[in-house]
Chains A and B, each alone.
Chain A
Amino acid sequence: MKLLTRARSFSRFYSLKVAPKVKATAAPAGARPQPQDLEFTELPNGLVIASLENYAPVSRIGLFIKAGSRYEDSNNLGTTHLLHLASGLTTKGASSFKITHGIEAVGGLLSVTATRENMAYTVECLRGDVDILVEFLLNVTTSPEFRHWEVGDIQPQLKIDKAVAFQNPQTHVIENLHAAAYRNALANSLYCPDYRFGKVTPEELHYFVQNHFTSARMALIGLGVSHPVLKQVAEQFLNMRGGLGLSGAKAKYHGGEIQEQNGDSLVHAALVAESAAAGSAEANAFSVLQHVLGTGPHIKRGSNTTSHLHQVVTKSTHQPFDVSAFNAAAAGDVIKAAYNQVKTIAQGNLSNTDVQTAKNKSLFLAKSRWQQVEIWDIHVLLMSCNVEAHITGKS
């Protein structure tokens, strides 16, 4: 009896007893930490490093690479789609199993975000575990192995990923928009074309990585990480592939029209015009124009009084609708969507208060310290190399 009861008392809350005891460190009493400025370095090989100390308990590190879908050519369409699905595969320094378990063990996150211009590999973790996750990040970006059986295992995911993403009509609209507006480069879809399912090979993936994941095209950005640490990491590990890599074809805007018929009850349309390249002085003006036309704020059940487009369309129809201004700044070319009435505004029928409000809104978003936006904000500043002008709002 005695043995049983003792065993029972031993087994109760067992996991609590053997769990490592975490001492909560008391917050240092004293002066509040001062907000830090962005620290910026450009290495001689072209790699750009930026970091910001935001005193958050979670550190975020992002490696932004100019390796988006615009750098595909007609032979290897869909490579970037498979590439960003293949972020968890075996690398030279760590197997897929090790990557998955290692990240899960510290409660971190590894994610890939892909746009037409860039591919961003982001890791997030608690401050103390930064070195573990940086190791995985470097493995994934500099030395992936793309073993053919592993790549074969994720091929079915291309189809499913695309099918599910295209259930959303916005994806159709934006992909068609780019396909109609450009002749090459930016016309490439983010998703693999149907005829290429099962045909993207590991060799193509390797070729893409060799030629596009080079130091000069990368930016290493950290939030909550110290700058010297990032710099050391970049100097030691991210200089394997130098040079500018393959420059993509220059995007040619030619305009056009695509109509995709389906049985939906809603019509989705975009009317597009070309505007300025990201980083040019005019890009800020277009950003202001976007906000003047109406991008938000989104108030549930509100009447969108700040949006010119909304006001105009409400007068012409009683059916449910939604309209907004769309702005996509890409290095080299930009597209901006506007509705029928944009002509009026373009001809200068705008009050000064409207323009000022829109400027403030655009600046607010640019300066916003909201975590999710921070890392992208820094990236946009760096990639456009127009840091000063963007922050001070000179247009």
Chain B
Amino acid sequence: PDSVSIKPLSWFAPVLSAMSRGVAGALRPLVQAEVPATPAPPVLDPKWPILNQEWLSGQTARQPLVVSVSLNVPASVHYSHTDIKVPDFSDYRHSEVLDKIKSSRESTTAVGFVSSMSASADVLAMSKIKIKLSDIQEGKNMAFKWRGKPLFVCHRTQKETEQEAALELSQLRDPQHVLDRVKKPEWMILIGVCMHLGCVPIANSGDFGGYYCPCHGSHYDVSGRIRKGPAPLNLEVPTYEFTSDDMVIVG
């Protein structure tokens, strides 16, 4: 049976690809390509109506015309090494994604179906916690339940922050500078789960004035960095954001 190879190249669009040799019909194409009475030639390059330097670059001819016709490849004309364009596949694409300006991630059906399987709105809402910072006095450490884990929010004094910053990083098991662990130095937000085996450390205790895990004796400092004991890493710092001077959203 005759097969028509529809290969919409940006160069030689459906009209000529109907004539390009498919397997069975070198002489008799299935669709007799006739030039219409008022010749409106097929648009070669529908992708680029925008006139700008980038599109024009490389378009001028650098070598004489070379015409190439082949048995099973659509015909082409070369005048430069940059004249070979990516074919236009618009015929195969969904109409929703054809608009160049809109992001295709916003409107496709597939994205809609897949995103319905992700977390629902109430679950997403429960994943964040809003904390009012004016409730926490200086030097005090408050614990909140967040995503099933304890969240420590500590309002540190100026003295404490300066003391911490002065420490040599090479002496730490998990070297991390104090300022790398906070966004505002006076607010220390940590997840209160010990990095050893997961107990909840006690605040304002231990040899370094920070946290002390009673299970196996890990001592953390005020910034939550491990100083003594079996834990290998510093206490985890979650992602958070200060929406105003008074409010922080964790998660």
Task: List residues of chain A with CB under 8 Å of any chain B CB.
Answer: 84-85, 87-89, 96-97, 99-101, 103-104, 109-116, 150, 153-154, 156-157, 159-161, 163-165, 167-168, 170-171, 173-175, 190-191, 265-266, 270, 290, 295-296, 298, 300-302, 304, 320-328, 330
Say whether B44 contacts A320, CB under 8 Å. no
Kindly state whether residue B42 has any CB partner on chain A within 8 Å.
Answer: yes
Whole-angstrom CA separation of A168 from B80 in the bound complex:
13
In the complex, chain B residues whose CB is within 8 Å of the CB of A304: 57
Shortest A217–chain B CB gap in Å is: 19
A162 smallest CB distance to B (angstroms): 10
Minimum CB–CB distance for B214 against chain A, Å = 61
- Of B9-17, B105-113, B147-155, the one touching chain A: B9-17
Q: List 12 A–B pairs whose Cβ atoms lie within 8 Å, in order of A's numbering.
A: A89-B27, A96-B27, A100-B21, A104-B23, A111-B69, A111-B70, A161-B69, A167-B44, A171-B77, A301-B57, A321-B56, A325-B62
Q: Does B168 contact A (CB under 8 A)?
A: no
**Which of B33-41, B158-166, B172-180 contacts its partner?**
B33-41
A265 engages B54 (CB within 8 Å): no
CA distance A326 to B65 in the complex (A): 11
- A-chain residues with CB within 8 Å of residue B44 when the two chains form the complex: 164, 167-168
Closest chain-A Cβ to B170's Cβ sits at a distance in Å of: 45
Interface residues of B in 55-105 (CB under 8 A from A): 55-73, 75, 77, 79-83
A265 touches B11 (CB 8 A): no
Q: What residues of chain B have their CB less than 8 Å away from a CB belonging to chain A? A: 11-13, 15-16, 19, 21, 23-24, 26-28, 32-35, 39, 41-42, 44, 51-73, 75, 77, 79-83
Asked whether B39 lies within 8 Å of A163 as measured between CB atoms, the reply is yes
Establish whether residues A301 and B71, one from each chain, have CB atoms under 8 Å apart when the complex forms: no
Cβ of B73: which chain A residues have Cβ within 8 Å of it? 109, 111
Knowing A164-B11, A265-B51, the reply to whether A113 touches B71 (Cβ < 8 A) is no
Considering the chains assembled together, what is the distance between the CA atoms of A383 and B42 in angstroms? Answer: 38
Do A164 and B64 touch (CB < 8 A)? Answer: no
Kindly report which residue of chain B lies nearest to residue A124, judged by CB atoms: B70
Q: Which of A153, A320, A324 contacts B61 (CB 8 A)?
A: A324
* Residue contact A153 to B11, C-beta cutoff 8 Å: no
- Cα distance, A75 to B58, chains bound together (Å): 37
Q: Give B64 Cβ to nearest chain A Cβ, in Å.
A: 4
Quick check: A301 and B54 within 8 Å, CB to CB? yes
Known: A156-B35, A326-B62. A88 touches B26 (CB 8 A): yes
CB nearest neighbor in B for A322: B56
Which residues of the other chain, B, contact A104 by a CB distance below 8 angstroms?
Answer: 23, 71-72
A56 vs B30: C-alpha distance in the bound complex, in angstroms? 37
Contact assessment for A326 and B70 in the assembled complex, using a CB-CB cutoff below 8 Å? no
Distance (whole angstroms) from the CB of A98 to the closest CB of chain B: 10
State the Cβ distance, B89 to closest chain A Cβ, in Å: 18
* Those 7 A-B pairs whose CB atoms lie nearest each other, nearest first: A111-B70, A328-B64, A322-B56, A324-B60, A320-B53, A298-B58, A100-B26
C-alpha gap A167/B10 in the complex (Å) = 11
Chain A: minimal CB distance from B229 (Å): 55
Known A-B contacts A112-B70, A160-B16, A266-B51; A150 and B27 likewise in contact (beta carbons under 8 Å): yes
Question: Do B62 and A160 touch across chains, with their CB atoms under 8 A apart?
Answer: no
Q: Given A174-B61, A322-B57, A323-B60, is A164 in contact with B72 using a C-beta cutoff of 8 Å? A: no
Extra pairs beyond A113-B67, A157-B19 (19, CB < 8 Å): A88-B21, A100-B71, A109-B71, A111-B70, A113-B69, A115-B66, A153-B27, A156-B34, A161-B69, A163-B41, A164-B41, A173-B61, A174-B61, A265-B51, A296-B62, A296-B81, A298-B81, A298-B82, A301-B57
CA distance A378 to B12 in the complex (A): 30
Given A96-B26, A171-B77, A323-B60, is A87 in contact with B71 using a C-beta cutoff of 8 Å?
yes
Measured in the bound complex, the distance between the Cα atoms of B22 and A103 in whole Å is 12
What residues of chain A lie closer than 8 Å to B19, measured between beta carbons? 157, 160
Q: Which of B28, B42, B59 has the most CB of A within 10 A?
A: B59
A167 touches B69 (CB 8 A): no
Tell me which residues across on chain B come within 8 A of A324, comparing CB atoms: 60-62, 80
Instruction: Give min CB distance, A391 to chain B, whole Å.
Output: 20
A88 touching B35, Cβ below 8 Å: no
A87 to B57: give the CA distance in the assembly, Å: 35
Which residues from chain A contact B69 at a C-beta distance below 8 Å? Answer: 84-85, 87, 111-114, 161
Give the chain B neighbours of A156 by CB distance below 8 A: 32-35
CB distance from B188 to the nearest CB of A (A): 46
Q: Which residues of chain A are near B32, meaning CB under 8 Å?
A: 156
Given known contacts A320-B56, A322-B57, A115 and B67 CB-to-CB distance under 8 angstroms: yes
In the bound complex, how far is the Cα of B63 from the Cα of A304, in angstroms?
18
Partner of A295, one of B28, B33, B62: B62
Contact among A97, A170, A300 with B54 in the assembled complex (CB-CB below 8 Å): A300
The reply to whether A113 and B75 form a contact with Cβ atoms under 8 Å apart is: no
B15 / chain A contacts, CB cutoff of 8 Å: 160, 164
| A residues in contact with B57, CB < 8 Å | 298, 300-302, 304, 322
The one of B12, B34, B59 in contact with A170, judged by C-beta atoms closer than 8 angstroms, is B59
**Shortest Cβ gap from B73 to chain A (Å):** 7
Chain B positions within 8 Å of A115 at CB level: 64-67
> What separation, in Å, do the CA atoms of A157 and B21 have in the docked complex?
12
A110 to B73, CA, bound (A): 9
Closest residue to A154 on the B side, CB-wise? B27
Whether A170 pairs with B79 at a CB distance below 8 angstroms is yes
A167 to B39 alpha-carbon distance, docked (Å)? 12
| Beta-carbon contact of B62 and A114 below 8 Å | no
Task: Report the bound CA distance from A110 to B65 in whole Å.
Answer: 20
Contact assessment for A100 and B68 in the assembled complex, using a CB-CB cutoff below 8 Å:
no
